[in-house]
Structure 1
């Protein structure tokens, strides 16, 4: 069996500080958890940043630069920066940090979509910060905007001009056809790395049948010129990772996608999730790709070509 690339999404922009005391917020917390996740087996670190005081999602270059050099010095993992930032940010704000850092990889959402987070309100009434409850509540009227013009701009600014390769985040079937459209225009070339994002309200549900359909559609559109990975937001995180591996795909875990290790048990770190999935995969006979093996598989420019 081919080696599996395990990505870890360290903090994200969806969960709020009140949801878990283990969600990394400060530069030191993000750096420590990133390095530990890499040591546990993550070949790729998918990174957002936050305001270190309020925990609010940020994409400011200075917030990224507060931890990127330390992560690079502390491990050899591929650093993959989000251009999604947060759905409440305009595009120029979302890409400010990645443009300054010029990473080996960055993510690119392949379409505009509803991005509903309000079910996470639950019965919680205690909030550490006054932004958290309105942020979640008002997501019933939230649209994540990534139009074809936006996508083309990111491909140019981060790809053509800065040499980054992309994690193409596909939340639904139509996003695969949008990616094929840009492939047909010659604006993206293989090997493509597609991340099937499942379980976000507004995108495809985290169900095995849907993953099979996404894969067979990608097979038809891209042939052998792509690799795919799967993330499932919430409680389907581990089960869908195993389905992805069984279909020949790669996997992603992390506190961006799910705060729990098992039902009712908060994960104490990203490394804890990485370790759990690694043990499950190895128990099934799989082995993990090293960061350098992932670089070779994805055609990355190398860590010596970044700006941090």
Structure 2
């Protein structure tokens, strides 16, 4: 599909549920840290903020609406960025837990993983010499024997409860080519809202497709075949693959996603001190490629979102 927009949407995934406190001192854990980093990322140029919550006491992933409520309203008051709440949570959460806050907040956008999959960073445990909290090591090592669950029934329920009932649109997270076909199935079933699909093509997660540029080209060609001109895509490169894969995606006509959920680094051996550092870096790259950065309101128009006041 040829480029259909003049500007590029930068998304920022602020903290996620994969990395643990021992991996980086700059990973935001508390509500204040998450809010501060999200606001700074928006000021740096992120039009969409993808948000997870963590237990304020020890940084473990949390689905508690009371924790979300300690930072989401503050972010919304301080920025005009699109608020994107995860429905993925973590591999240890039930669907009911993962949906609790999105159903309360009814945001403009939510993430939606397009299938069940092995999803793991367990080899990273071998590189950690000192853990900050007792939960971290078993959490990372335990990923080897867990799956992320999103069955067809789970996805159908999310589309109904959030999409149809709340007017929320989705960041469709596709970790492999098969996830594009899953998305096409729901399109064929008439369960997706009108307007462009926003497809996040993800490379580099153990259990999903590799971060090779050839794979990204193949995923885009597959999406072109399945969805024609009815989609916009974004690119997420996990870990050290973040900036190179995003640059390829932008050249192919896509949007980009950065943030400490996806990578803890700014460059080789250099931990990012904030999400905003990554936003500023990819923005520099995009602007050197003569690409313009979309504002939040431009992103809303491009993705047909219901608006921050809805």
TM-score, normalised relative to structure 1:
0.98
Q: Which residue of 2 aligns with 1:48?
A: 52
Q: Which residue of 1 aligns with 2:277?
A: 272
Distance, in Å, in 1 between the alignment partners of 2:127 and 2:291 is: 40
Contact 1:41 1:274 in 2 (8 A): yes
Q: Which residue of 2 aligns with 1:222?
A: 227
Q: Which residue of 2 aligns with 1:195?
A: 200
Shift, 1:119, TM fit? 1.3
Partner of 1:122, secondary structure, is: helix
Shift, 1:117, TM fit? 1.6
Distance, in Å, in 2 between the alignment partners of 1:165 and 1:30 is: 23
Q: Which residue of 2 aligns with 1:297?
A: 302
Contact 1:61 1:101 in 2 (8 A): no
- Equivalent residue pairs, number: 305
Shift, 1:2, TM fit? 1.4
| 1:111 has 2:115 as partner | yes
Shift, 1:280, TM fit? 0.9
The equivalent position to 2:162 in structure 1, one of 158, 161, 178, is 158
Unaligned runs of at least 5 residues, structure 1: none
Structure 1 residue ranges (4+ consecutive) displaced by more than 6 angstroms after TM superposition: none
Contact 1:6 1:41 in 2 (8 A): yes
Distance, in Å, in 1 between the alignment partners of 2:52 and 2:14 is: 8
Q: Which residue of 2 aligns with 1:245?
A: 250
Partner of 1:183, secondary structure, is: helix
| 1:147 has 2:147 as partner | no
Distance, in Å, in 1 between the alignment partners of 2:102 and 2:242 is: 27
Per-residue displacement from partner, 1:75-120 (whole Å, max 9, x unpaired)? 1000000000001111111111111111100000000000122011
The equivalent position to 1:177 in structure 2, one of 178, 181, 184, is 181
Distance, in Å, in 1 between the alignment partners of 2:174 and 2:309 is: 29
Distance, in Å, in 1 between the alignment partners of 2:291 and 2:123 is: 35
Contact 1:242 1:281 in 2 (8 A): yes
Per-residue displacement from partner, 1:228-287 (whole Å, max 9, x unpaired)? 000011101000110000000000000000000011111000000000110111011011
Contact 2:22 2:128 in 1 (8 A): no
Partner of 1:45, secondary structure, is: strand
Distance, in Å, in 2 between the alignment partners of 1:123 and 1:289 is: 38
Contact 2:29 2:56 in 1 (8 A): yes
TM-score, normalised relative to structure 2:
0.97
Q: Which residue of 2 aligns with 1:260?
A: 265
Distance, in Å, in 2 between the alignment partners of 1:145 and 1:284 is: 38
Unaligned runs of at least 5 residues, structure 2: none
